[in-house]
A and B are shown apart, each in its own frame.
Chain A
Amino acid sequence: MKHELFPIRELAPGGMRSVDVDGVAIVVIRTLDDTLHALRDACSHQGARLSRGRLKPVVVGPDVGRYRLLKNKLVLCCPWHEFEFELETGRCVADPKHHRVRAYQVEVEDDTVVLYR
């Protein structure tokens, strides 16, 4: 089902906005490269509002002691326990088998953010 959310100008690049869609809290994320993502706005761990968390680049470690930031790949970090969720899939980076939040299809149509669920 298609839901028209808000005009795209109301969400600046690098920002997040929580919306209520038929009683379900969803966080819409607009990255600096102007890509939109939408995730269920409730951490799979203890239900914290992910929209109150922070966007961070993914850290990978090719070998012990070596850190590399993937600046073009962001995760949404829970404000409570710092669980990291992939924007594209909603999977928890550390524990994708047990922790994920639902990811939704989100688009811009006629300057309006539109979500399908």
Chain B
Amino acid sequence: MALLIDTDVHEPLRTVRDLLPYLDPHWQVHVTEERGDNVLSKIQLPYSPPGSGERREWRATDDDREKDLERLRSNLLEGEGVTAAILNGFFHVSALPVDYEFATALAAAYNDWQIHVWLEREPRLRGSVHVIAHNPEVAAREIDRVAEHPQIVQVFLPLVNDRQYGDPHYHPIFEAAVRNDLVVTFHHGSHTRTVLGYPRHFIEWHTVAAPQAAQNQLLSLICNGVFDRYPDLKVVFLETGVAWVPWFMWRLDQQYREMRREVPWVSRLPSEIMRDSVRVATQPMGDVKPQHFEKLVEMTDTERVYVFATDYPHYDADTSGAGPLVSLAEQLSQRIRYQNAVESFPRLRDLSE
């Protein structure tokens, strides 16, 4: 069977109360007695996305959470032909502006829930370590703890607007990722603002929120020397599309030629750093024509940069058997379908044709 690695899959957590078995007694009481189960309402999206955000034919038709895994197997693993799927959740508690202790407990509980409910029941799934970035030392300890599970392949960080991940404050997170052979993945969420905050309509937010935030954080990582300090680090940006990459590379290279003196710890062209250390998931490919995407890759020498993603189960998921990716030249198609992921995620290296 041809390999197809999906780098962006969202497993549903139906309620924070599902984490109760994984929380210590203090936080169990906080959830059940102090309305702690409302925590997600504090980072809720203020829009109504199409189809409530999910593809209709993939949506759960009952309340039986036991069937969630079965549905993912049938829709994604069998339906889309995905041979390995990386779970990213919807649970971005690292974006909480307050209550860091509670958020830390929730992240740890979520990690254990993800392992118990998903990874240990399905060997084709791979998982994330969710951490509270606010306290990088605590986050690093959580990464060390959760990374012991062999199906964990990455650290998950939300694309937020109120921190700059290139700040040396966050070094312990990247250090822990590297020492555990994990990549660091960034994904936007309901908390992600555009430069205008929340624009008036969902279409405005959905067009630019993720790529804007991704570019800001990638700039921060590059210009603050994170890749120079951790040359083995790989980062992945999910759900930001592909067409911003050429402009970003060209613009930042030009700025670096002009202003290298301001960031002398950056030792080479940003585009070279990106080719080595940054991966970008293809979803949403949008309506780009295959020949235009091939030209884009050729112009920027980014054949090794893009990795496949569906964004299951969202309404705008990319389908493996439709859209521009289907018509790509074979060599580029294979790179995107699995080779780039296998070469970039240290813990996916055992997957090969």
Q: Give the interface of A toward B (CB within 8 A).
A: 45, 56, 59-67, 81-84, 92-95, 97, 99
Contacts and interface: CB of A to CB of B under 8 A. Distances in A.
A45 B264 contact: no
Main secondary structure of the interface of B (DSSP, over half): helix
B265 A95 contact: no
Contacts of A65: 168, 265
Contact of B257 (A59, A64, A66, A83): A83
Given A56-B261, A93-B260, A95-B257, 10 more contacts: A60-B264, A61-B263, A62-B265, A63-B225, A64-B168, A64-B229, A81-B258, A94-B257, A95-B256, A99-B257
A95 B258 contact: no
Nearest to B225: A64
Contacts of B253: 95
Nearest to B262: A59
A52 B257 CA distance: 18
Interface centre among B257, B258, B266 (most CB of A within 10 A): B257
B224 interface: yes
Contacts of A94: 256-257, 260, 269
Nearest to A62: B265
B259 interface: yes
Interface residues of B, number: 16
A66 B168 CA distance: 12
Interface in B246-287: 253, 256-261, 263-266, 269
A63 B265 contact: yes
Contacts of A64: 168, 224-225, 229, 265
B224 A92 contact: no
B257 A81 contact: yes
List 6 tightest A-B contacts by C-beta distance, closest first. Answer: A61-B264, A61-B265, A94-B260, A64-B225, A94-B257, A59-B261
A62 B10 CA distance: 40
Contacts of B256: 94-95
Contacts of A97: 269
A66 B261 contact: no
